[in-house]
Amino acid sequence: MELDLLEESLGYTFRNKDLLQEALMHTTYVNEHKDLSLKDNQRLEFLGDTVINTVITTRLFLQFPEEKEGALTKKRAELISEGALFKIARLLGLGGFLFLGKGEEMDSGRKKASLIADAYEAVVGAIYLDSSFETALHVVENHYEKAMGTFEDISITDYKSLLLEYCQSQFKTMPKITVVDERGPEHDKEFEVRVTLNERSIGLGRGRNKKRAAQVACKEALRSLDYPLS
């Protein structure tokens, strides 16, 4: 396998290539090649799980200073779920670089969400051991942003949908969500969105794109309507 292609995809070049190989080593391959004295990736998976958890916890804590513990916990659970890790691993093409036993290979192991997600955790663990926590943090953040967008846009709660549903059920009318201003150069614009209900302004939000600004405005609108946000 040309592991340099994987390193290019990961955005990280290993000093110790053995760590990367270990991270890709599934137990089924190790069991079929006992004469080679190989190590499977389970210990690195254990380490990587903790590193990812810490990276995401730190990022959410800094990104959402007004969010309460309950909301942050829900967001973290979504972001470190098997589905999220599988999405990242698939984007990186990780499945194609795994060392699998013949049985697992025949059973489409390279496409299994749990197996691929575990391998991503192992790779992150390997990056951490090969470099530092700061480097691992930077690499993991880049992976998440490539797979899911910027962290400020990652929100488990869709405040816009929530506001529309709430207004329809409580007031029998829909709010208006309007872009009222945009400023800055093309590569670094900031948008301002206003939410009005029955001609009354109930929310204002700003963001680097219209979607983010609308979410902020809708969240403020829900608060102004005394909707119980966590």
pLDDT tens digits along 21-68: 999 999 999 999 988 889 999 999 999 999 999 999 999 999 888 888
Domain residue ranges of the chain, discontinuous segments joined by +: 3-153, 159-224
Superfamily of domain 3-153: Ribonuclease III domain (1.10.1520.10)
Identify the active-site residue in 40, 45, 104, 121.
121
Identical fold for domains 3-153 and 159-224, yes or no, is no
This prediction's pTM? 0.69
**b/e burial code for range 64-88 (CB count within 10 A of at least 16 → b):** beebeeebbeebbeebbeeebbbbb
CATH number belonging to domain 159-224: 3.30.160.20
Q: pLDDT for 85-128, tens place per residue?
A: 998 999 999 999 999 999 888 888 898 888 999 999 999 999 99
Per-residue confidence band for 84, with pLDDT thresholds at 50, 70 and 90: confident
Asked if 130 is an active-site residue, the reply is no
Query: Looking at 49, 67, 118, 220, which residue is catalytic?
Result: 49
pLDDT tens digits for range 161-178: 889 988 998 899 999 999
Q: Does the active-site annotation cover 49?
A: yes
Query: Per residue in 118-160, pLDDT tens?
Result: 999 999 999 999 999 999 999 999 999 998 877 766 655 678 8
